[in-house]
C-alpha cells in the first residue's frame, strides 16, 4: 500500500487482521515486486501485468491477499457509520441488493450491510488461509478450481467498493482520502479486467464512475 494510504487510514481500525506473506517465499518476493511497481508510480495498467517468467496463479494469489488487506482497511475507516440503522440492506443503491450465500446457507439471505461485511471478511479469510487453496510452499501446485474460487472472492470484494462508493463516499471525502480510495479501486479494476476475473455484469453498479476515473 502506498505511503499516503498508510497516513490516511488508521491501521488500528483495520476490519480484520492482515494476512501476511512469509519472508523468503516466492509469494513474498512477488508481493515485494508488485509493491515496488506501485510505489514507483508506474501506470497501474502496466503494474498489474504478469511479470515475464512468473506463474499466473502465483501473481493472482499475491494480489487477492493484497486486495483483501486494502479493502479491509477501506471498510474499516467507514465501519462506524455503516450500521444496522444506516444500512439495513447490503446494497449499492436502489437497483442492486446483495444477499449472502455460502456453504452453510442454501438460499441467498437478505442481510444488513455490516452483517454481510462481517460474514464476507470471515469467509474470505478462511479461503486465503486454506493451504490447499492458497499454498505457501514453493512447488506445491494450485488446485484446478483456484481461479474459479478467486473469481468468487474478487466479485464479492468488488461489492465492498460498490457499497462504500454509493453509500459512504461522503465519509471518505470528509477524511480527504478519496484520491487514495480511487487509486485502490483503479488498481483492483485494472487487475480483474486484465485477467478476466470478474464478470462484466458484476461491474455494472460502478460503470459510470469507472468510465470517469479508469481511462
168 is in an annotated binding site: yes
Query: How many other C-beta atoms lie within 10 A of the C-beta of residue 84?
Result: 11
97 phi and psi angles, rounded to 5 deg: -120, 135
CA 62 to chain centre: 12
Asked whether residue 82 is marked as a ligand-binding residue, the answer is yes
187 is in an annotated binding site: no
C-alpha cell at 142: 494450485
163 is in an annotated binding site: yes
State the cell numbers at 79.
465501519
State the alpha helices, DSSP H only, in the chain. Answer: 3-8, 26-39, 44-47, 56-78, 113-128, 146-174, 178-194, 207-213
Distance between CA atoms of residues 31 and 20, nearest Å = 10
Q: Where is the binding site, in residues?
A: 82, 87, 163, 168
Q: Where is the binding site for Zn(2+), in residues?
A: 82, 87, 163, 168
Amino acid at each position: 500500500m502506498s505511503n499516503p494510504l498508510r497516513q490516511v487510514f488508521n491501521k488500528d481500525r483495520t476490519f480484520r487482521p492482515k494476512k501476511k506473506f512469509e519472508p523468503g517465499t516466492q509469494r513474498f518476493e512477488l508481493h515485494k515486486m508488485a509493491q515496488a511497481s506501485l510505489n514507483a508510480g508506474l501506470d497501474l495498467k502496466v503494474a498489474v501485468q504478469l511479470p515475464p517468467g512468473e506463474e499466473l496463479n502465483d501473481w493472482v494469489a499475491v494480489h487477492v491477499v493484497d486486495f483483501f488487506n486494502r479493502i479491509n482497511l477501506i471498510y474499516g475507516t467507514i465501519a462506524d457509520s455503516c450500521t444496522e440503522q444506516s444500512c439495513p440492506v447490503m446494497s449499492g443503491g436502489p437497483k442492486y441488493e446483495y444477499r449472502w450465500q455460502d456453504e452453510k446457507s442454501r438460499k441467498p439471505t437478505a442481510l444488513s450491510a455490516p452483517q454481510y461485511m462481517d460474514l464476507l471478511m470471515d469467509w474470505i479469510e478462511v479461503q486465503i488461509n486454506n493451504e490447499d487453496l492458497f499454498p505457501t510452499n514453493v512447488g506445491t501446485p494450485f488446485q484446478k478450481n483456484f481461479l474459479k474460487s478467486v473469481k468468487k472472492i474478487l466479485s464479492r470484494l468488488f461489492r465492498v467498493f460498490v457499497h462504500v462508493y454509493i453509500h459512504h463516499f461522503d465519509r471518505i471525502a470528509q477524511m480527504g482520502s478519496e484520491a487514495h480510495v480511487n487509486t485502490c479501486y483503479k488498481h483492483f479494476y485494472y487487475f480483474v479486467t486484465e485477467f478476466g476475473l470478474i464478470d462484466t455484469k458484476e461491474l455494472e453498479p460502478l460503470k459510470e464512475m469507472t468510465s470517469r476515473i479508469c481511462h
